[in-house]
Amino acid sequence: MDNTLSMIGLALRAGRLEVGDEAAGDACRYKRCRLLLVAADAGEGAQRRAMHFAEEGQCLLAEIPCSKEELGAALGRKSCAMAALTDLGLAQAVAGRLAQGDPERYGEMTERLRVKAERAAQRREKTARERQQRGGGKRPPVKYRKK
The SS3 of residue 146 is coil
The reported pLDDT for the residue numbered 2 is 80
Which amino acid does the sequence have at 139?
R
Residue 143: pLDDT above 70? yes
Residue 135: band (very low, low, confident or very high) from pLDDT cuts 50, 70, 90: confident
pLDDT of 41 above 90: yes
3-state secondary structure of 97: helix
* CA dist., res. 78 & res. 72, Å (int): 5
Q: Lowest-confidence range among 3-12, 66-75, 87-96, 128-137?
A: 128-137
Q: What is the pTM of this model?
A: 0.84
* pLDDT at residue 30 tops 80: yes
Residue by residue, DSSP assigns 98-124 as HHHH-HHHHHHHHHHHHHHHHHHHHHH
φ, ψ (nearest 5 deg) of residue 75: -105, 5
Q: How confident is the model at residue 130 (pLDDT cuts 50, 70, 90)?
A: confident
- CB distance 43 to 35 below 8 Å: no
Please list, in sequence order, all residues whose beta carbon lies within 8 angstroms of the beta carbon of residue 105, skipping any fewer than 6 positions away: 98
Q: What is the mean pLDDT of the chain?
A: 91
